[in-house]
Amino acid sequence: MDSKQANNVKAPILVTGGAGFIGSNFVLEWIAAGKGPLVNLDKLTYAGNPENLISVADNPAYTFAHGDICDAEFVGKLLREHRPRAVVHFAAESHVDRSIHGPEAFLKTNIDGTFTLLKEARAYYDGLEGEEKVQFRFLHVSTDEVYGTLEPNDPAFHEDTPYAPNSPYAASKAASDHLVRAWVHTYGLPAMITNCSNNYGPHHFPEKLIPLMIANAQKGKPLPVYGDGQQVRDWLYVVDHCKAIMTVLEKGKPGETYNVGGGNQRTNLQVVNTLCALLDELVPDSPYKPHAQLIKYVADRPGHDRRYAIDARKIESELGWKAEESFETGLRKTVEWYLANKDWVEHVTSGAYQQWVDKNYGSREGVAGGAR
C-alpha cells in the first residue's frame, strides 16, 4: 500500500442496511478487524435492529445515520458530508413470503432505493478527483434468487446464468442488479455485484427458515415445513459472506459480478431435522424432545423455487476467497447463539411480528393457527 492509499483508508465506507441481519454482521466484522471508519445508513424497518450494534454504538469508528435510501436529498448530503471511499449496499426488503403478500415495499426500496443510491453515488463520484476517484467503489449485495430455480441435475448458478427471477422479491433484486450494470456501462460508475446463496447465523430475523424453526421449537410450537420439504437451498454462514464482500471490495474488478456460496446444498427437511437434533442435544431437559415431533407440513409457498446452488469458483480462483465454516459447525454456532440470546428473540418477536405470523401461517392448512 503506498502513502496515498494509506491516507484514503482513513476515509469511511458507507454501508446501507447495516442494522439488518447480514449488514450488522458485516459492521461488527469490519470494526473488529480495524478496517477504518464506517457510516451506517439504515431506515430501521421491522428488520433493522439497533440492538445488533450495541457493542459498537460508542466506537469512534462507527457512525449511525437514520434515513431512507429512497430519500435523494438525505443520501446526497450524507455522501458529501462523509466523503466515503466506498458504498456497500445491503439495504433491501429481503423476505420472499412478505413480497408475495405485499410487493409494493419491495419495488420501492429494492428498485427505487437502489436507483436513488446509484444516482447520488454517481454525482458524488463525478465530483471526486485523483486518488479518491481511482479508489472509489460501489458494491451491490444481491442474491442467487435472480437466477430462478434449478432442476435436480442442473449445474449450479454461475455468473453467466441467465436471469429468471420468480418471486416479487427476486424480480426486484434482479431489477436492481440491472440498474447497477447500466450505471457501470453508461456512466462508468466503478460498481461490482455479489450474488450470494442463503445465509444463516446470529441476528437472523425469525421470519426466515432457520431462526423461525429454532424459536418455535424452543416454545413447543409447530415447525411449519412448506410443501414436501424437498426444496434445496445452498447455505453459507453469514460471517463467510461478510468476508467475501470485504474481499470483493478490496480486490474485485469494477463491472464484475461474483457468485458467493459455500457448497452446502440441503433440503429444507434435512435442515429442520438437523436443527431438531441439535436442540435435543443442547437442551437435554426440554419438554418438547424429540423436537422433530413438532414438524408440520403446511401449504406450499406460491411459485416456490425448487432448488438453488451456487458455483463460487470465480471468487475462489480470481480473488482467493473461500468459505471457512462448514454447515455442521456453522449451524451449531447458530443454535448456541440463539440459546444464549433469548432476550434478543423476545424483543424482535414482540409487537408487529405476531401480525406477520398470523398473516403468513394463519391460512396454511396443517398448522390451523398452531404455528402461532
Residues 7-36 that bind ligand NAD (CB under 6 A): 16-17, 19-23
The count of C-alpha atoms lying within 13 angstroms of the C-alpha of 77, restricted to the half-sphere facing its C-beta, is 9
Catalytic residue list contains 144: yes
Q: Kindly tell me which of 56 and 239 has the beta carbon lying closer to ligand DAU.
A: 239
Least Cα distance to 325 among 314, 317, 333 occurs for: 333
Report if residue 231 touches ligand DAU, rule: CB under 6 A: yes
Report if residue 209 touches ligand DAU, rule: CB under 6 A: yes
DSSP string, 32-78: HTT---EEEEE---TT--GGGGGGGTT-TTEEEEE--TT-HHHHHHH
The one-letter amino acid code at 87 reads V
Report if residue 226 touches ligand DAU, rule: CB under 6 A: yes
Residue from the set 31, 79, 91, 245 that interacts with ligand NAD by CB under 6 A? 91
Give the cell for residue 151.
432442476
Query: What does 225 interact with, of ligand NAD, ligand DAU, none (CB < 5 to 8 A by kind)?
Result: ligand DAU
Residue from the set 12, 48, 190, 222 that interacts with ligand NAD by CB under 6 A? 48
Rounded to whole angstroms, how far apart are CA atoms 146 and 181?
Answer: 14
Report if residue 21 touches ligand DAU, rule: CB under 6 A: no
Residue from the set 8, 24, 94, 116 that interacts with ligand DAU by CB under 6 A? 94
The one-letter amino acid code at 97 reads D
Q: In the beta sheet, which residues pair with residue 233?
A: 266
Comparing every residue's Cβ against ligand DAU, the nearest one is 143
Rounded to whole angstroms, how far apart are CA atoms 230 and 287?
Answer: 28
Size of the site for ligand NAD (CB under 6 A): 30
Q: Kindly tell me which of 202 and 222 has the beta carbon lying closer to ligand NAD.
A: 202
Find the part of the chain contacting ligand DAU (CB under 6 A) among 218-226, 242-250, 275-283, 312-320. Answer: 218-226
Length of the chain: 372
Catalytic residue list contains 145: yes
Q: Kindly tell me which of 142 and 149 has the beta carbon lying closer to ligand NAD.
A: 142
- The H-assigned helical ranges of the chain are 3-8, 21-32, 72-82, 96-101, 104-106, 114-126, 130-135, 168-187, 209-218, 238-251, 268-282, 313-319, 327-340, 342-348, 353-361
Instruction: Give the Å distances, CA to CA, from 94 to 44, 110, 181, 355.
Output: 13, 9, 21, 18
Judge residue 135's burial from the number of C-beta atoms within 10 Å of its C-beta, 0-12 exposed, 13-18 middle, 19 or more buried: middle
Q: Kindly tell me which of 16 and 334 has the beta carbon lying closer to ligand NAD.
A: 16
Residues 102-161 that bind ligand DAU (CB under 6 A): 143-145
Residue from the set 30, 31, 64, 68 that interacts with ligand NAD by CB under 6 A? 68
Q: Kindly tell me which of 243 and 296 has the beta carbon lying closer to ligand NAD.
A: 243
Provide the b/e sequence for 10-48 (b: ≥16 CB within 10 Å): ebbbbbbbbbbbbbbbbbbbbbeeeeebbbbbbbebebb
User: Catalytic residue among 42, 93, 144, 234, which?
Assistant: 144
Q: What are phi and psi of 264, to 5 degrees?
A: -125, 75
Find all residues with CB under 8 Å of 372, minimum gap 6, and list them. Answer: 221, 354, 357, 358, 361, 362
Report if residue 258 touches ligand NAD, rule: CB under 6 A: no
Residues 153-182 that bind ligand NAD (CB under 6 A): 173
Query: What does 120 interact with, of ligand DAU, ligand NAD, none (CB < 5 to 8 A by kind)?
Result: none
Residue from the set 47, 139, 210, 214 that interacts with ligand NAD by CB under 6 A? 47
Report if residue 205 touches ligand NAD, rule: CB under 6 A: yes
Rounded to whole angstroms, how far apart are CA atoms 15 and 246?
Answer: 12
Find the part of the chain contacting ligand DAU (CB under 6 A) among 133-141, 208-216, 316-324, 330-338. Answer: 208-216
Report if residue 268 touches ligand DAU, rule: CB under 6 A: yes
Contact residues for ligand NAD, defined by CB under 6 A: 16-17, 19-23, 42-45, 47-48, 68-70, 90-92, 94, 109, 113, 141-143, 173, 196, 198-199, 205
Q: Which residues are catalytic, by number?
A: 144-145, 169
Contact residues for ligand DAU, defined by CB under 6 A: 94-96, 143-145, 197-198, 208-209, 212, 224-226, 231, 233, 268, 301, 308
